Amino acid sequence: MATIRILGIDPGLARMGYGVVDSDGIRLRPVAYGCIETPAHTPLPERLKTLYEAVQEVIRRHRPVAAAVEQLFFYRNTTTAFAVGQARGVAILAAVQAGLELAEYTPMQVKQAVSGYGKADKGQVQEMVRILLALPARPTPDDTADALAVAIAHAHARPGHSRGEAGAPGTGRQQAP
């Protein structure tokens, strides 16, 4: 199976994690990862523009062919939910405009794909990301580790994935954009 480059995104307005991973169906290799941050007191449109342009730059620099984005889970604060939803939307827009294959995964699907347990805690997921990508330490902040986990979930969900060094396949479903 040919190597595929996947961009994983953990959406957020203050911090949006990204992780770029190569997968050949057996092994996973980290390419780049980090966190895009926007200042709290900046107007929302400017923050969204910053996120959009930064995601475009990650795509331009690393040239993934697929993007996987974590779906939103229930938020008690509707204002936060709307803001995160808008940030998620600009990330999806950047990926679709770049012609990337797009998939979405729930937090439970990501945890299942990475750790084998859909209710794993953050520490367990971070440790499995470290192990699966052979990183010297757990990626920080959490948003970065979560983005790498989303990319891993997509790698595991792709047809042709085997149980080699990358671990067991996940249960994520691809969705049409």
Active site residue 10: yes
Distance CA 18, CA 46 (A): 19
Rg (CA), the chain: 15
> Closest Cα to residue 73, out of 12, 160, 155, 1?
12
Q: Which of 101, 143, 146, 165 is an active site residue?
A: 143
143 is known as an active-site residue: yes
The residue annotated as part of the active site, out of 10, 101, 142, 146, is: 10
Do residues 113 and 156 make contact, with C-beta atoms less than 8 angstroms apart?
yes
Which class for 14: exposed (0-12), middle (13-18), buried (19 or more C-beta within 10 A)?
Answer: middle
Catalytic residue among 70, 101, 142, 146: 70
Catalytic residues: 10, 70, 143
